[in-house]
Amino acid sequence: MGADPIYDSKTNDTTVPLTGELQLKGEHFKYEVYLLPIIGADNNKIAAVEEDLIKRMGNRMQNGKHCLDIDESIVRENIENDEYSVVAFIHNKNHDDVASGTMQYFDWCESGNEQLWMSDLCRISTSKQPVSPIKALIKVFENLSKKYTSHLKYLHLMVDNEDPVGAPVLIKIYEKYGFDIVSKSKCAMDDPDDEYTLMRKKNQKNIENNA
């Protein structure tokens, strides 16, 4: 497939993550954002960063299983095939409540112009708080969109319909986060069997401590 980078041609090093903090309804979060493909002058450093991302994304464990069935081999293949535009991690500074995810800058709607898609979202916690780090991560993604792809009006995601019980639950959660279901007339994705429910959220104004 090959997603496009969100950084411009003037960028020459993405081995160091973008970092920052944000507050959301009284909870404090800290995040790390990597822009992919990883580029830089030092090939050893590039390889080290990629290996770190492979280990961190490929070992997100929930109840003894890989989150979303994504293991190191899948992450490695995706990095090698340039399928990530962004890899991000966020955690609650005061509780064991973390989340991570990726974004793809890709024309899934087959419109002739790329959209920005959230993917691989995973929350792992031993101390769940009322404010989910997923919600905070979405705020970070919105800020990234406004900074690097300011021409885009929406942030997109797909919900896999394979799980008839879990899919409606996820759709309801994302609706609470401001996402709406997108009709096929607005996104003509090649999905004849309706394997996915497409959703999008209009980008909001920047939050404090922007990415």
Residues 6+ apart with CB under 8 A from 12: 39, 40, 41
Residue 23's domain comprises 18-202
Chain-centroid distance of CA 41 in Å reads 26
Q: List, for residues 143-189, the tens digit of each pLDDT value.
A: 999 999 999 999 999 998 888 888 999 999 999 999 999 987 888 87
Does the CA dihedral 67-79-39-35 come out positive or negative?
Answer: negative
Residue given tokens 């429910």 in the structure block? 197
DSSP state of 67: G
Residue given tokens 């041609």 in the structure block? 9
On whether residue 172 sits in a domain, the answer given is yes
Three-state DSSP at 44 gives helix
Does the CA dihedral 20-24-28-33 come out positive or negative?
Answer: negative
Q: What CATH number is given to the structural domain containing 153?
A: 3.40.630.30
On whether residue 5 sits in a domain, the answer given is no
Mean pLDDT for all residues in the chain? 91
pTM of the predicted protein model: 0.91
Question: Which pLDDT band, with edges at 50, 70 and 90, does 207 fall under?
Answer: very low
On whether residue 210 sits in a domain, the answer given is no
Rounded Cα distance between 15 and 31, Å, is 16
Three-state DSSP at 196 gives strand
pLDDT of 106 reads 96
Find the helix packing angle between 72-80 and 43-58, rounded to 10°. Answer: 140
Across residues 112-121, what is the average pLDDT?
94
Residues 6+ apart with CB under 8 A from 57: 70, 75, 87, 100, 102, 120
On whether residue 25 sits in a domain, the answer given is yes
Q: Tell me: pLDDT of 211 over 60.
A: no
Three-state DSSP at 95 gives coil
How many domains, in total, are found in the chain?
1
CA-based nearest residue to 75, from 61, 57, 88: 57
On whether residue 208 sits in a domain, the answer given is no
Q: List, for residues 27-75, the tens digit of each pLDDT value.
A: 999 999 999 999 999 999 999 999 999 999 999 998 889 998 999 999 9
On whether residue 97 sits in a domain, the answer given is yes
On whether residue 183 sits in a domain, the answer given is yes
Question: Which pLDDT band, with edges at 50, 70 and 90, does 97 fall under?
Answer: very high
pLDDT of 209 reads 45
pLDDT > 70 fraction of the chain, expressed in percent and rounded: 95
DSSP state of 68: G
